[in-house]
């Protein structure tokens, strides 16, 4: 896995979670459990310049 950093924070942040692992011959569904907060997802440690605004997001579907 490659860590990703954000340059700035958008008003709406969309995160795509990878569900499959691919190799040359087949794909496998990943069975790792991903836990995250529904309210107050704090992502400042992934932002290169966190002073540009609040780094807190709420989940909405």
Contact 15, 23 (CB under 8 A): no
DSSP code of 48?
S
Domain chopping of the chain, boundaries: 1-60
E strand segments, 1-61 = 20-22, 27-29, 41-42, 56-57
Q: What percent of the chain has pLDDT over 70?
A: 89
Mean pLDDT of the chain: 82
State pLDDT tens for residues 13-34.
888 877 888 878 888 887 888 8
Token pair, residue 8, equals: 């700035």
Q: What is the model's pTM?
A: 0.63
């Amino acid at each position: 896995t490659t860590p990703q950093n954000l340059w700035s924070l958008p008003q709406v942040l969309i995160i795509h979670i990878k569900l499959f692992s691919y190799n040359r011959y087949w794909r496998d569904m990943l069975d790792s459990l991903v836990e995250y907060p529904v309210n107050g997802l704090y992502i400042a440690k992934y932002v290169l310049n966190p002073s540009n605004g609040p780094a807190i997001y709420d989940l909405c579907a």
